[in-house]
Every structure is written in structure tokens, then in C-alpha cells.
Homo-oligomer: A and B are copies of this chain.
Amino acid sequence: MPGPHDHHVVIVGGGFAGLWATRALAHAPVCVTLIDRANHHLFQPLLYQVATAGLSSPDIAAPLRHILRNQANVEVRMAGVERIGAQARHVVLDDGATLGYDTLLLATGVTHTYFGHDEWAPHAPGLKTLDDALHLRRRLLLAFEHAESESDPQRRAAWLSFAIVGGGPTGVELAGTLAEIAHHTLRREFRHIDPASAKVRLIEAGPRVLSSFPESLSEKARRQLQRLGVEVVTGTPVDAISDEGFHLGGTFVPARTVVWAAGVAASPLARTLGIELDRAGRVPVLPDLTVPGHPEIFVAGDLAAVSQHDGKAVPGVAPAAKQMGRYVGETIRARLANKPAAAFRYRDYGNLATIGRMAAVVDLRGLRFSGLLAWWFWLAAHVFFLIGFRNRIVVLLNWFLAYWSYQRAARIIVGHDSARRSTDADAG
């Protein structure tokens, strides 16, 4: 229980950065309030598996309260933060409460952006939260249902036309897995359509997919995607998206299901700091991850714009967020003990991306490999880093059964009726 005289650390965001910072403060003479809109920490690297019905939500999420139940100096608060009062040193919550702090850590991450085309949002949903993943799952599965009951051949083809916009890791994972669903998982289940006739397009505006990897691995990824049945289009940006399809280089392509995996923008909360942000809305921080002029405000994870010693930006990946979080916790402890703190230094252990069934690319500081071996490496790394013994077992079991049977256990459509009802209840 926080005492009134303890140094109060407020941490906004229970992702990798926020949670690792909280844990690093376990034995520090502080009280911590960890605030998150959701009641759970999410293992984001496997979120695409929930969207593609391979895993269910609880497999990759754990309640923050449960993870931190034995850390006595932490209080978890489920709420949204509306704004930061940097001068008054407080945060204002969406339930109207105001919470003062001695030290603040902002770790609210990124959301997707449509590059000024917010009107595309309803037609091309993105993937950042569990709710996004369940929404996407419903859309993907319902597309095949609509195709089955549609008698007009053109409209049916539009329901069987899928596009994923953005060739980063998320786009590549989604495209590869969707192709697997169309070609294998749904085999023999429909009577009027052949799911394998579905078109899955991955569209990247830049010259190659997985641009954070070396060119040779991008090329390997492209070939593995094509082998899985994905049509990879590079060098062409999408001009417009509607309910019926999208425009690409002046041509209209019918597609009832478009997924947005392209733009990433910092969480809007950073704007309330009152300082200048970078082009993507991230907070340019000093080498100790504090905000210029506010040594009591740290920013960590995807929301922080940090340069490495070689001038390159620290990438927005889970290991970097964990390292920043741990660094902030340790720096707060050092300060309270009047010890000096070194600058943050990112340790790059490598870069992994999965593509689909038995296909992945791995770049371990120069050691590069792809295909089946890379996929096993990717799987082992991800299961190892999952939080919770049960989750590791269940995810391994699901993977084993999925790859043995080509089945995906979570092909259950939920949400539509409940969506209506809960909104009504809220309104009432």
C-alpha cells in the first residue's frame, strides 16, 4: 500500500516497457501506480495469431493485477489517461480523478495511422489490441461465409479477395497465415466456393517487404510468401480504400476485406506534454530517456524516439521496450540512492519475423537464415518469452495440433450481437 511519504512513481501503460519498469522497481523505496486502459498485459508479438484464429485471447494475455499481485509497492489502476499536467506534476484520468506523481513514466506505445485518411479506418481495420484482433477475426471468417451465400460471381470474388496493406512484420505474418487458412484450414468445409481460390495480396508502398531486414532476407521472405500463395505487390502505394475495394496505381481492385498494417503513430497522449514531437508523434528523449526540461518524466518503449550511439534509431520492437523499461526502473533507483546513472544503451540481439507455416527469417547480428530452421527458432523464442507457465503449454499444444492437422482452434465468431447489446446497455 503506498504511504503518503513515499516517492510516487506513476507508470502509464502496462506493455513491455511499463511492466518491465514496474518489476525493476520491486525493491525500491517507492510506491508505484501502474495505469492501463486494459486489465491485461498483452504479448503483442503473437497478436496476429488471435486475429487469424490460431490462439484465443487468454493464451497471449495475463491480468496485470495477477502478474504483480506479490509486488507490494504496486497499485494497478484500470483507467485511461486523458492528459498530463507536466507543470502541476499530475495525470488526469478518464474517470475524472487526478493523480499526482514525483516521477512519471510514459509508455503508451503506438497506434495505427491512416496517413491523414481516417475515412479508411472502418474499411481497413488495424491490429494493436485484443479487441482489434477479435474484430479482425470476425471480418476474415465472415468474408468466407458471405462468399458462400453470394450467388453473383463478381460479388462472390470480391468477398474472396483479401488485401493486407503494409509489408512489415505484422503484414507479412497476416498475409502468410491468411493464405494458409484459405488453402488448407477451410478445405472441404464449403459447398459453393473453393476457399483456395481466394486472392491474398500483400501491398507494400516501399521497394521490399520486411525493410528492417537485410535485402537478401526480404527477398527470401517474398519467395516464401509466394510459395504460400500470397501475391506480393511492392513499390506501389494504395490511393484509396472503400467498402468495395481499393485503388492501386490508378486501378480499382475489388476486395471486401482490407487489413491495415502500414502506418504507425505515437499514442496521442504525448501531445499533452506540451513539447515538440517527431514526425510520427513520438517523444524525442535525452540519452537517459527523460523529456528535455523534465528530468522527472521518462518515456520508454515505442513512444520514445531514441538514437543509438551509431546514430540509428532504436527500433520499435519488444526487446527494446523491455530494455528501456528496465533501464528506467534502475535509473529511478540510482537517483533515489544518489548514484549516477549511465545513458540508455540498446543491445541488439537480432531480428526475427515469421511468415507462415514453417517459414520465417532470422537475422542474428550477421548470422542469417530462413525457412524451417528459422521458423523453429522463432517459435522457441516466442514461447520462451510468453508470460505464464499455462500460456506456454497451451500455445505449444495449439501449435502442435495446428501444424499437425492444419486446423485453427479459435475459428469462433463472437462479438456482433454482444457489441450491439453492450452499446445499448451503456446508452441506457
Report chain B residues within 8 Å CB of A61. Answer: 412
As a 0/1 sequence over residues 118 to 158 of chain A, the CB contacts with chain B under 8 angstroms (1 = contact) are 00001001000111101100100100010011000000000
A238 interface residue (CB < 8 Å to B): no
Report chain B residues within 8 Å CB of A390. Answer: 397-398, 401, 407, 409
What's the Cα separation between A409 and B189 when bound, in Å?
A: 31
Contact of A412 among B58, B69, B78, B401 (CB under 8 A): B58
As a 0/1 sequence over residues 36 to 75 of chain A, the CB contacts with chain B under 8 angstroms (1 = contact) are 0011100000000000010011110101011001100001
- Smallest CB separation, A58 vs chain B (Å): 4
Report chain B residues within 8 Å CB of A312. Answer: none
Q: Which of A84-141 contact B (CB under 8 A)?
A: 95, 97, 122, 125, 129-132, 134-135, 138, 141
A135–B188 touching, CB < 8 Å: no
A131–B414 touching, CB < 8 Å: yes
A347 interface residue (CB < 8 Å to B): no
Report chain B residues within 8 Å CB of A394. Answer: 394, 397, 409
Report chain B residues within 8 Å CB of A59. Answer: 56
As a 0/1 sequence over residues 343 to 359 of chain A, the CB contacts with chain B under 8 angstroms (1 = contact) are 00000000000000000
Report chain B residues within 8 Å CB of A130. Answer: 412, 414
B415–A419 touching, CB < 8 Å: yes
A397–B393 touching, CB < 8 Å: yes
A422 interface residue (CB < 8 Å to B): yes
B407–A66 touching, CB < 8 Å: yes
Report chain B residues within 8 Å CB of A65. Answer: 186, 189-190
What's the Cα separation between A141 and B64 when bound, in Å?
A: 13
Contact of A131 among B1, B389, B417 (CB under 8 A): B417
A63–B411 touching, CB < 8 Å: yes
What's the Cα separation between A336 and B124 when bound, in Å?
A: 50
Contact of A58 among B2, B410, B420, B425 (CB under 8 A): B410
Closest-by-CB residue of B relative to A427 is B122
A216 interface residue (CB < 8 Å to B): no
Report chain B residues within 8 Å CB of A145. Answer: 39, 78
What's the Cα separation between A418 and B125 when bound, in Å?
A: 11
Closest-by-CB residue of B relative to A185 is B66
Closest-by-CB residue of B relative to A130 is B414
What's the Cα separation between A425 and B243 when bound, in Å?
A: 10
What's the Cα separation between A177 and B148 when bound, in Å?
A: 41
What's the Cα separation between A399 and B125 when bound, in Å?
A: 35
Q: Which of A382-421 contact B (CB under 8 A)?
A: 389-391, 393-394, 397-398, 401, 407, 409-421
Report chain B residues within 8 Å CB of A411. Answer: 39-40, 58, 63, 66
A417–B66 touching, CB < 8 Å: no
Residue picked from A58, A135, A187, A389, most chain B C-beta under 10 Å:
A58
What's the Cα separation between A52 and B295 when bound, in Å?
A: 44
B149–A79 touching, CB < 8 Å: yes
B58–A416 touching, CB < 8 Å: no
Closest-by-CB residue of B relative to A150 is B95
A191 interface residue (CB < 8 Å to B): yes
Report chain B residues within 8 Å CB of A338. Answer: none
A366 interface residue (CB < 8 Å to B): no
A422–B412 touching, CB < 8 Å: no
B40–A412 touching, CB < 8 Å: yes
- Smallest CB separation, A379 vs chain B (Å): 18
Residue picked from A401, A416, A418, A428, most chain B C-beta under 10 Å:
A418
7 contacts between A and B (CB under 8 A): A39-B141, A40-B411, A56-B58, A65-B189, A69-B189, A77-B149, A418-B419
Beyond contacts A40-B413, A130-B414: 15 other A-B pairs, Cβ-Cβ < 8 A, are: A1-B191, A2-B191, A39-B145, A39-B411, A66-B411, A122-B428, A125-B421, A130-B412, A131-B416, A389-B401, A390-B401, A394-B409, A397-B397, A420-B423, A423-B423
Sorted from nearest, which 5 A-B pairs have the closest CB atoms? A131-B418, A65-B189, A419-B419, A56-B56, A58-B410
